[in-house]
Amino acid sequence: MKTINPHDKFFKEAFSKKEEAGDLIKNVLPEGLSNNIDVSTLQLDSTSYIDEELQESFSDLVYNCVYKGKTKIKITLLIEHKSYAVDYPHLQLLKYLQKIWEANIKQKTALVPVIPILVYHGKEKWDKIKFEDYFPGIDNELKQFLVSIFHYVFSNTVIEDKEIVNAISLISEKGGNIAMTTATKLINKGKLEGKQEDVVKLFTKIGLSVEQIANTLDLDKSFVEMALKEQGLI
């Protein structure tokens, strides 16, 4: 039976937009990798590669794009359904990647490199480890027989569904410009929640201004203001 998860609707609504997906990719992936991804070539793949076994754990959004101006790749946003860090996620990822490559073979096309980004919303911290770390004590001679299954994690632990919807709708009425894209807001919101106690402490006990707090904690000024307003301090 398919797991019904309300987060799917919000994330798919947000990141089905090419601009939002591009911003997430630029923020989550390391600079050396993201700088070589031409986000202007992003095209949403209508195919889901989630089978019956995997759909209890994930739903997906898949983008096709170009890497270094010539190599076709896929970037997948895998939305984790469980609200806790699962054991051995690499094995689930391997099954998922296999589905994509099996589709390549069926379509008689070249195998396409895939960059998986796992979107996690649980309360527990997701400690990303290498697949080889599941095999303690092995030497390099044995490691060569292990597959390399790498992925990136975007954790939105503290983000509520309504905040995602609000972020999508934050558009300037006068200029028509998006004040800050959804992905950036989600990432900055996560940073703020983790430092919210520091924000309040710097304001109430030390007396720093909003701008000084923003500079000290490397946070967006608008988020500092929001944190203090939530506490009724301004």
Regarding whether 97 and 188 lie in a shared domain, the answer is no
In a domain, 18, yes or no: yes
Distance CA 233, CA 196 (A): 13
Residue 189 is predicted with a pLDDT of: 55
- Asked if the model's pLDDT at residue 86 lies above 70, the reply is yes
Q: Do residues 175 and 152 share a domain? A: no
Looking at the fold, whether 97 and 114 belong to one and the same domain comes out as: yes
Instruction: Give domain status of residue 126, yes or no.
Output: yes
**Contact (CB, 8 A) for 154 and 118:** yes
pLDDT, tens digit (0-9, with 9 covering 90-100), for 113-150: 999 998 887 767 777 788 898 999 999 999 999 888 88
| pLDDT for 7 | 58
**Does residue 84 sit in the same domain as residue 104?**
yes
Alpha carbons 116 and 93: distance in angstroms, whole number:
8
Same domain? 122 vs 220:
no
Cβ-Cβ contacts under 8 Å for 49 (sequence gap 6 or more): 60, 62, 76, 96, 99, 100, 103
pLDDT, tens digit (0-9, with 9 covering 90-100), for 97-106: 999 999 999 9
The pTM is what?
0.65
Of residues 55 and 191, more confidently modeled: 55
Shared domain check, 54 and 149: yes
Do 23 and 135 lie in a common domain? yes
pLDDT tens digits, residue range 169-194?
443 333 333 334 555 555 555 555 55
**Within a domain: residue 20?**
yes
Domain assignment present for 1:
no
Domain count within the chain: 2
Which helix H or strand E contains 169, and what residues bound it? helix 161-169
- Characterize the bridge pairing of strands 58-67 and 37-45: antiparallel
Q: Report whether pLDDT(210) > 50.
A: yes
Same domain, 108 and 38: yes
Domain identity same for 93 and 142: yes
Report residue 213: phi and psi, to 5°. Answer: -65, -45
Q: Is the dihedral of CA 153, 29, 95, 53 positive or negative?
A: positive
For residues 19 and 126, state if they share a domain: yes
For residue 184, the enclosing domain spans: 165-230
Most confident of 40-49, 172-181, 196-205: 40-49
Q: What is the CATH number of the domain that holds 203?
A: 1.10.10
Check residue 203 and give its pLDDT.
Answer: 73
Distance CA 67, CA 73 (A): 7
